[in-house]
Amino acid sequence: MIASDFTAIKPPKPFRGGIPICFPQFGTQGNLEQHGFARNRLWAIDDNPPPLPVNPAIKAFVDLILKPSEDDLKMWPHSFEFRLRIALGAGGDLSLTSRIRNTNTDGRPFSYTFAFHTYFSVSDISEVRVEGLETMDYLDNMKGKERFTEQGDAIVFESEVDKVYLAAPSKVAIIDHDMRRTFVVTKEGLPDAVVWNPWDKKAKAMQDFGDSEYKHMLCVEPAAVEKPITLKPGEEWKGRLGLSAVPSSYCSGQLDPLKVLHG
């Protein structure tokens, strides 16, 4: 993960880097602040979370919980419990499991959009390719959310990219040629995948982002954007993000077949 040198942890201001949690709104798709309020709140340790299935690959984890404050309820008048488990495997694999429950007592359902706004560190964005999203339909935020179909055999970066890939596969790979490293992103319960890099013009316009930092970052974000998730009172939704880094060989300008996508 990566964070901007120009950002700081000063709630309620957002932190640019790491894995911000976008809830209950992704982007500006609603009346709330951009990406919702969850990423700007202080979470509590969850001392007694409902059990999750035992995973022997997990070596350490922490459970967090977020409940709405009075100010949050004024902005978004719904009661919820948001539980988050952050887990590490022996090889450094990272997983985030989100569980959101509707705790409204007045019988009202609620709907929300969501994303794990994951910032990846890359050597040089012009040498990076994203595989696994070929032939997928996407909404292009640079063109008024117009819908297109991905035509290339991989996503490469030559200018600003801000796309929401719809019904994306459960595995996506970020291949960093210079680092000879591949990040594998897995997802459950999240149908979409957002791909974003601000490029030079937008980077210069962001106060919490260095003018040239776009060269060394990329966001690939498991998300639920096109179709909001709706929960009735008492219902719970679960979504999961998995991250791992594996070596990737690079020879004569071509990568070996990406076995991790098919294994």
What is the full DSSP assignment across 156-191?
E-SS-EEEEETT--SEEEEEETTTTEEEEEEEES--
pTM > 0.85: yes or no: yes
**117 counts as catalytic:** yes
pLDDT at 11 (0 to 100)? 61
Q: Where are the domains of the chain?
A: 21-248
pLDDT (tens digit per residue) in 99-149: 999 999 999 999 999 999 999 999 999 999 999 999 999 999 999 999 999
CB 101 within 8 A of CB 238: no
What residue numbers does the annotated binding site for substrate cover?
16, 34, 39
CA-nearest of 32, 214, 242 to 122 is 214
Going by the annotation, the residues of the binding site are 16, 34, 39
User: Side chain identity at 152, as an amino acid letter?
Assistant: G
Instruction: Say yes or no to pLDDT of 261 above 80.
Output: no
Mean pLDDT computed over every residue of the chain: 89
pLDDT at 28 over 90: no
Provide the CATH topology of domain 21-248.
Beta-galactosidase; Chain A, domain 5 (2.70.98)
The confidence band for 251, taking pLDDT boundaries of 50, 70 and 90, is very low
Catalytic pick among 35, 117, 131, 213: 117
**Whether residue 221 lies in the annotated active site:** yes
Of 234, 124, 248, give the one whose Cα is nearest residue 181.
Answer: 248
